[in-house]
Chains A and B, each alone.
Chain A
Amino acid sequence: MLRVTNLSKDYPTPRGPLRVLSDVSFEMAPGDAAAVMGPSGSGKSSLLYILGGLEPPTSGTISLDGRNPFELSATDLAAFRNARIGFVFQDHCLLPQCSVLENVLIPTLVAPKGEADAARARHLVDRVGLADRIDHRPAELSGGERQRVAIARALVREPRLLLCDEPTGNLDRAAAENVAALLLDLHRLENTILLVVTHSAPLAEHFPIRFDLQDAQLHRSR
């Protein structure tokens, strides 16, 4: 269970603090999938990074399965992120020097489980439809394919929370549809809590829950 309570985020600027999130509260259970929409600069990505434990809130709490990541030490927070949270970024962030399989396996390096990691990675690569490209480098893949690798990588540690930041932002419509379907499909299979930040209304349409972020306030519109 993801529980967000009275979350606020300010950024310091020369002209005083800029509030991008104000008193945000919501809950999501495993199997829930939500899209967060809002204009540029509205704080969508900030919310995502705070939920992912990458950036601390100014106030408020987050709890994932009863644990507040920001109460953990830096080492434990890293381990928490590794075990519980998966990320998919707009810019996929694949390591150009590594093959598809190696990119998927990267999170497992933190706490290796031996052959099981490789088996799961191969399974995920297969599930995202890139089994025949498993040894290819990112430079040899299309944008959609790269994002599918990023999704596989995000799921390799069987996270409870899957966070996606504009996962289809750099893709054409067909590729975006493909990636969205894959994402939801895998979400269902893995029973994760899925939260996707996007500008794309068609993508948001795929999600049963929709949040709108405006003037630092988060509203559930569906």
Chain B
Amino acid sequence: MTSTTLVRRGLQHYWRTNLAVIAGVATAVAVLAGALLVGDSVRGSLRDLVVQRLGRADRLVVATGFFRDALADDIRGDRVFDADYRDIAPLIVMQGVVADQATGRRASGVQVYGVDDRFWRFHGIADVAGPAGRDAYVSRALAADIGAAPGTTAVVRIEKPSAIPLESLHGRKESAGRSIVLTVRRVIDAAQMGDFTIRPQQGDVRAVFVPMRRLQQDVEQPGRVNAMLVADRQRATNAPLQLLLKRHAHLEDFGLTLRTLGPQPAIALESSAGIIDGPRAAAADRAAVQANLVAKPVFTYLANTIRHGDREVPYSLVSATDPGVPLPSTGHPIVLNDWTARELGAKPGDAITLDYYVWEDPGYLETRRAEFTVAGIVPIAGAAADRDLAPVYPGITGTESLSDWDPPFPIDLKRVRPVDEDYWKKYRTTPKAFVTFADGRRLWQTRYGDRTSVRLAAGGQPVDQARARYEAALRSALDPESMGFTVRAVRDEGLTASRGSTDFGEYFVYFSFFLVASALVLAALFFRLTVEQRAREVGLLRAVGFGTPRVRTLFTAEGLLLAAIGSAIGAVAAVGYGAAMMAGLRTWWSGAVGTTSLTLHVSAASLLAGAAGALVAAGACIWWTLRGLSRLSERALLAGQLQSDVLPTARRGGRAMTLSVVAFAALGFGLIGAAAGKAIDPAGAFFGAGAAILIACLCLLAARLGKGRSKGGRRPSTSIANLGFRNASVRPGRSVLAVAVIASAVFILISVDAFRLSDADPTDRKAGTGGYPLLVDLLVPIVHDPNSADGRDALGLSGAAGIHVEPFRVRPGEDASCLNLYEPTTPRILGVSRRFIGEGRFSFQGSLASTDAERANPWLLLDRALPGDAVPIAADSNSLTYVLHKKVGDDIVLAHGGAPLRLHVVAALDDSLFQGELLMSEPNFIRLFPEQQGYRFLLIDAPPQTAAQLSDTIEKTASDLGADAVATRRRLAEFHAVENTYLSTFQSLGGLGLLVGTIGLAAVLLRNVLERRRELALLRAVGFARSHLFTLVLSENVALLVWGLSTGLVSALIAIAPAALQRGARLPLSAGGGLLVVAVLAAGLLSSVVATRAALRAPLVAALRSE
């Protein structure tokens, strides 16, 4: 006989109750580890999607402009490439809208890829090549969306890339989109890279694969691409690729060209954009210094009018550069060529006026005027006869006559005189006037640059040598990253992002908390029953010399062994629980994840963590149970008298419990206060406060039961029901535990229902819709002010009255809302106009406002100048909290042009439609993202009743822009659906907790009745009918049930009251919540009746005989 034998004998003998303990622990482990498995599974599934959808692509080289597809071959041919990388493939990556030409069914947000055989070879797909001619391949999701099959004619609408900025004078604003008609030849499966995407997304991938050559031709970028995929040989880094890029990129890959000019030996550096931006200009200057050349900037601009008095010359090119004559350093001198001076009748010292166009925000053309003084007149010869001072402008520079001009801005050809035509025919783009470069820059500089070309004088050197030397120096000075090239480790990024913005493991642990707690309480309850049943054994062991610690060790060993067995079983069951939760996420709760591609991933670490967690909790329960026994005397134990002493309340009287009631209630209300004061996270405070108040209520019950039991002189019971109620105090520990389980479940199920979000008011300017009933996403940006006649025409709103369109600039990026499961690293950014800021719409949950004006309208904070290089931004509070894991006052740091961009959160919007993006002021946006053209996101303020019709009109009229109009209410509802689905998940798991609680209650009731068989038999002997006994027992159970229900209900109501008021959610009870309370009551009563009937069926007279 050893202690181990004693433990083993105990386990075997009390196997029934031990089984219940094991079941409780197993349930807790299954739920806890299963919840962690959900987190693993979501992460694992996201990781699988990344890996599957990237194919062999480890890195992506992407540029803001187009570059030679031969660059890929140049890089591959370098020996450095072979050391780190296995393959490289060029491709075109664009966004588009695809429609079935026959049915009109369309899909937006489609990834359009221009590929050739190299793409499939790169991914090792042997059975796919092409596509060729006018064929296209589509992904299965796209085929399903538009109903396409092989043979379907599909129209692919894309944004036509333009080197010339759309928001510049020469940008072609009316033809920013391009439609390509193709025949669907194949539907490509995911295994064949049909779901290829470089942006992690959990939803289906809508992709169309277009012949690269066809796409190059249609977007007028022959032989050029905008991306390259790179496969690593082993574990590589970006650095060698960046080096190779710098080594092999030609000037034309950066949008630059060098021209040798004659007859004077000179070199001109020009940009395909028609204007040279700051980084390129700086590189050009550095290269000139290195090549020992003198660089001279040139800014040539179109003047609508050169006027002197009442005489004028229309549509003339004016160059801001040195014309070869000395100019005064003060004032605004202008040098005219002799033709212009003659036409204007101007002489040195005369005043000259220039009229010229500028493109102004938000998207309109403005004519401006500048005054000059004639500083000289030069013949059209030498430097003044240089027709290469003007960049190539499509529709202007190549035309034979002025009347053939087709510029992207209005011109009045009636103003063109025969002499003007003669000049054009004879001198073409030769400038008619010259101003200083400083004046030119002052007047015409935009965010796209301050010079149209750079002139480099060869000096005495042979021009070819000078050019070669300069080109080498320039290539060395050009940093690909600053010029718009980005090398991205897409696989690493994707894998990192697959950690997820939402830790589903954590969420499911929260969701399952009360289920775990119920299971543990149940396990503790049964363990306690076992121990109580063996009180005499404890007494005997102590009487024969076992010390209290030794007895405790024995029982702890037994309990832990049970817990270990339960944990082992639970770990296996956790896989089933996890699988069930994943099935739930794929089906009932798919609204929370937006995908059906989630599969179970089992991780030993999670199983062990869940098992260990529950084991520790079970150990704590056991310790707590045994702790009570150590206070009992051997004599009491030997007599089996423990019911009056096990619960501390009873032994110590009501004082400690009363203190506990006060302490926990204070804690609960303190947490609510702290949450209301925004001192702590409201979600945590909610649980904390609810739990504290719940515990306070349970302590109150314990105090009441203890008090009731210890009162000597109370009035005798006057009814059978009253006697029944009093019986609840016979086993106060059991009563409190049973009530705790029921109360917890009710608490969960009621409280979360109050947080269910309802639709927002589309007319309320302070609601989440901002009072805009409609929003529009555009594939092709609109550059005109959408409230101008041109803008309204483009959107099909010409005849609509009472409408205002609020345009937003967009820097594409990842969705920062709860709809995106991946962790966003570069969220989408919107630039908001000054007008929008002034409107002060939407509500804010928090801000850094420090003035009355800012407090009244926190949008003003976006204009605040922050220390350092930080940029103020606003974001939705939900996105900040749950996706970005930031709060007001935090920084969000993004990679931007090779340097970190620090965004400082100055305001948090309250449950708004801006959950997918960050918002910054338009000036900051333009400064940081000058390459982003026009407006791609619109909010439309219109009478709500016209929203549906407007939506149809916009989608039809602005189909060229790839317009996607959605009711703001619907967009918000999509976000709410996620949150509401979480609540449903929570409630479902709470329902399981209730089930466990009900089982526990039934078991306790049965046990209580069985233990009191002698008492019941005695009552029958003295004349109680069976119905009396039924009433007696049932009334006790009903008392417990009602206390559990009311405790759960009251604590839920108290805990959620501030949040419900703040968030505008309705207060419980809703129909669902009410139904639940009734269901709990019904389930509890049913289990009471079943337990009571079962107990009363036992032969009571036999029990009496033993008395």
- Residue B588 lies at the interface, judged by CB distance under 8 Å to chain A: no
Q: Which residue of B lies closest to A15 (CB)?
A: B712
Q: How many interface residues does A have (CB within 8 Å)?
A: 36
Partner of B544, one of A82, A98, A118: A82
- Residue B3 lies at the interface, judged by CB distance under 8 Å to chain A: yes
- Residue B638 lies at the interface, judged by CB distance under 8 Å to chain A: yes
**A199 to B753 alpha-carbon distance, docked (Å):** 66
- Residue B548 lies at the interface, judged by CB distance under 8 Å to chain A: yes
Enumerate chain B residues within 8 angstroms of A87, measured Cβ to Cβ: 543-544
Enumerate chain A residues within 8 angstroms of B546, measured Cβ to Cβ: 78, 82, 109-110
- Residue A89 lies at the interface, judged by CB distance under 8 Å to chain B: yes
- Residue A221 lies at the interface, judged by CB distance under 8 Å to chain B: no
Enumerate chain B residues within 8 angstroms of A112, measured Cβ to Cβ: 2
When the two chains form their complex, are residues A78 and B1 in contact, meaning their CB atoms are under 8 A apart?
Answer: no
When the two chains form their complex, are residues B547 and A102 in contact, meaning their CB atoms are under 8 A apart?
Answer: no
Enumerate chain A residues within 8 angstroms of B537, measured Cβ to Cβ: 93, 95
Interface positions of B from 603 to 651, Cβ below 8 Å from A: 633-635, 638
When the two chains form their complex, are residues B550 and A106 in contact, meaning their CB atoms are under 8 A apart?
Answer: no
**A93 to B541 alpha-carbon distance, docked (Å):** 10
**A80 to B543 alpha-carbon distance, docked (Å):** 11
Partner of B1, one of A45, A91, A109: A109
**A159 to B545 alpha-carbon distance, docked (Å):** 12
Enumerate chain B residues within 8 angstroms of A82, measured Cβ to Cβ: 544-546
* Interface residues as binary, A68-111 with B (CB distance below 8 Å gives 1, 0 otherwise): 00000011001111110001010101011110011001111110
A74-B548, A106-B1 are known contacts. Are A98 and B540 too (CB-CB below 8 A)? no
* Interface residues as binary, A5-19 with B (CB distance below 8 Å gives 1, 0 otherwise): 000000000100000
- Residue A207 lies at the interface, judged by CB distance under 8 Å to chain B: no
A87-B543, A93-B539 are known contacts. Are A101 and B548 too (CB-CB below 8 A)? no
Q: Which residue of A lies closest to B544 (CB)?
A: A107
A55-B633, A78-B542, A96-B13 are known contacts. Are A109 and B6 too (CB-CB below 8 A)? yes
When the two chains form their complex, are residues A93 and B545 in contact, meaning their CB atoms are under 8 A apart?
Answer: no
Interface positions of A from 104 to 161, Cβ below 8 Å from B: 105-110, 112, 117-118, 121, 153, 157
A54-B633, A54-B635 are known contacts. Are A95 and B540 too (CB-CB below 8 A)? yes
A97-B10, A101-B1 are known contacts. Are A106 and B541 too (CB-CB below 8 A)? yes
- Residue A57 lies at the interface, judged by CB distance under 8 Å to chain B: no
- Residue A52 lies at the interface, judged by CB distance under 8 Å to chain B: yes
When the two chains form their complex, are residues B635 and A91 in contact, meaning their CB atoms are under 8 A apart?
Answer: no
Chain B nearest CB from A11 CB (Å) reads 11
Interface positions of B from 527 to 542, Cβ below 8 Å from A: 536-537, 539-542
- Residue B5 lies at the interface, judged by CB distance under 8 Å to chain A: yes
When the two chains form their complex, are residues A107 and B545 in contact, meaning their CB atoms are under 8 A apart?
Answer: yes
Partner of A106, one of B14, B544, B712: B544
Q: Which residue of B lies closest to A105 (CB)?
A: B1
**A192 to B157 alpha-carbon distance, docked (Å):** 106
A91-B536, A118-B1 are known contacts. Are A110 and B9 too (CB-CB below 8 A)? no
Interface centre among B545, B548, B633, B712 (most CB of A within 10 A): B545
**A95 to B7 alpha-carbon distance, docked (Å):** 12
**A96 to B537 alpha-carbon distance, docked (Å):** 9
- Residue B12 lies at the interface, judged by CB distance under 8 Å to chain A: yes
Interface positions of A from 24 to 58, Cβ below 8 Å from B: 45, 49, 52, 54-55
When the two chains form their complex, are residues A97 and B13 in contact, meaning their CB atoms are under 8 A apart?
Answer: yes
Q: How many interface residues does B have (CB within 8 Å)?
A: 28
When the two chains form their complex, are residues B1 and A74 in contact, meaning their CB atoms are under 8 A apart?
Answer: no
**A109 to B14 alpha-carbon distance, docked (Å):** 21
When the two chains form their complex, are residues B635 and A55 in contact, meaning their CB atoms are under 8 A apart?
Answer: yes
When the two chains form their complex, are residues B14 and A93 in contact, meaning their CB atoms are under 8 A apart?
Answer: no
Chain A nearest CB from B1030 CB (Å) reads 32
When the two chains form their complex, are residues B9 and A83 in contact, meaning their CB atoms are under 8 A apart?
Answer: no
Enumerate chain B residues within 8 angstroms of A109, measured Cβ to Cβ: 1-3, 6, 546
**A45 to B638 alpha-carbon distance, docked (Å):** 12
A14-B712, A109-B1, A112-B2 are known contacts. Are A83 and B545 too (CB-CB below 8 A)? yes
**A80 to B544 alpha-carbon distance, docked (Å):** 9
When the two chains form their complex, are residues B635 and A98 in contact, meaning their CB atoms are under 8 A apart?
Answer: no
Q: What is the predominant secondary structure among interface residues of chain A facing chain B? A: helix
Partner of A102, one of B1, B541, B543: B1
Enumerate chain A residues within 8 angstroms of B2, measured Cβ to Cβ: 109, 112
Partner of B545, one of A102, A105, A110, A117: A110
Enumerate chain A residues within 8 angstroms of B550, measured Cβ to Cβ: 78, 110
**A117 to B1 alpha-carbon distance, docked (Å):** 9
**A153 to B1 alpha-carbon distance, docked (Å):** 13
A55-B635, A109-B3 are known contacts. Are A153 and B544 too (CB-CB below 8 A)? yes
Chain A nearest CB from B513 CB (Å) reads 36
Chain B nearest CB from A142 CB (Å) reads 16
**A118 to B638 alpha-carbon distance, docked (Å):** 26
**A55 to B638 alpha-carbon distance, docked (Å):** 12
Enumerate chain A residues within 8 angstroms of B12, measured Cβ to Cβ: 97
Enumerate chain B residues within 8 angstroms of A81, measured Cβ to Cβ: 543-545
Q: Which residue of B lies closest to A75 (CB)?
A: B547
When the two chains form their complex, are residues A98 and B6 in contact, meaning their CB atoms are under 8 A apart?
Answer: yes
Chain B nearest CB from A159 CB (Å) reads 10
Q: Which residue of B lies closest to A56 (CB)?
A: B633
Q: Which residue of A lies closest to B11 (CB)?
A: A97
Enumerate chain A residues within 8 angstroms of B6, measured Cβ to Cβ: 95, 98, 102, 106, 109
When the two chains form their complex, are residues A110 and B638 in contact, meaning their CB atoms are under 8 A apart?
Answer: no
Chain B nearest CB from A191 CB (Å) reads 20
Interface positions of A from 182 to 217, Cβ below 8 Å from B: none
Enumerate chain B residues within 8 angstroms of A55, measured Cβ to Cβ: 633-635
**A93 to B633 alpha-carbon distance, docked (Å):** 16
When the two chains form their complex, are residues B638 and A78 in contact, meaning their CB atoms are under 8 A apart?
Answer: no
Enumerate chain A residues within 8 angstroms of B539, measured Cβ to Cβ: 93
**A107 to B547 alpha-carbon distance, docked (Å):** 11
Interface centre among A55, A75, A79, A93 (most CB of B within 10 A): A93
Interface positions of B from 340 to 393, Cβ below 8 Å from A: none
**A87 to B545 alpha-carbon distance, docked (Å):** 11
Partner of B638, one of A89, A102, A105, A121: A89
Enumerate chain B residues within 8 angstroms of A91, measured Cβ to Cβ: 536, 638
Chain A nearest CB from B638 CB (Å) reads 6
**A121 to B1 alpha-carbon distance, docked (Å):** 10
Partner of B635, one of A49, A106, A108: A49
**A52 to B633 alpha-carbon distance, docked (Å):** 13
When the two chains form their complex, are residues B1 and A54 in contact, meaning their CB atoms are under 8 A apart?
Answer: no
* Interface residues as binary, B1-43 with A (CB distance below 8 Å gives 1, 0 otherwise): 1110110011011100000000000000000000000000000
Chain A nearest CB from B631 CB (Å) reads 13
Chain B nearest CB from A59 CB (Å) reads 19
**A80 to B3 alpha-carbon distance, docked (Å):** 20
Enumerate chain B residues within 8 angstroms of A98, measured Cβ to Cβ: 1, 6, 9
Q: Which residue of B lies closest to A84 (CB)?
A: B545
Q: Which residue of A lies closest to B7 (CB)?
A: A97
**A95 to B536 alpha-carbon distance, docked (Å):** 9
Chain B nearest CB from A164 CB (Å) reads 13
Interface positions of B from 400 to 440, Cβ below 8 Å from A: none
**A109 to B633 alpha-carbon distance, docked (Å):** 21
When the two chains form their complex, are residues A93 and B10 in contact, meaning their CB atoms are under 8 A apart?
Answer: no
A78-B545, A110-B546 are known contacts. Are A93 and B1 too (CB-CB below 8 A)? no
Enumerate chain B residues within 8 angstroms of A83, measured Cβ to Cβ: 545
Enumerate chain B residues within 8 angstroms of A97, measured Cβ to Cβ: 9-10, 12-14
When the two chains form their complex, are residues B634 and A54 in contact, meaning their CB atoms are under 8 A apart?
Answer: yes
Enumerate chain A residues within 8 angstroms of B544, measured Cβ to Cβ: 81-82, 87, 106-107, 110, 153, 157
Which residues of A are interface residues toward B (Cβ below 8 A)?
14, 45, 49, 52, 54-55, 74-75, 78-83, 87, 89, 91, 93, 95-98, 101-102, 105-110, 112, 117-118, 121, 153, 157
Smallest CB-CB A-B distances: 8 pairs: A82-B545, A97-B13, A105-B1, A97-B9, A78-B547, A107-B544, A93-B540, A54-B634
Given A91-B536, A93-B543, A109-B2, 10 other A-B residues pairs in contact with their CB atoms under 8 A = A45-B635, A54-B543, A55-B635, A74-B547, A75-B547, A79-B545, A87-B544, A97-B13, A106-B541, A109-B3
Which residues of B are interface residues toward A (Cβ below 8 A)?
1-3, 5-6, 9-10, 12-14, 536-537, 539-548, 550, 633-635, 638, 712
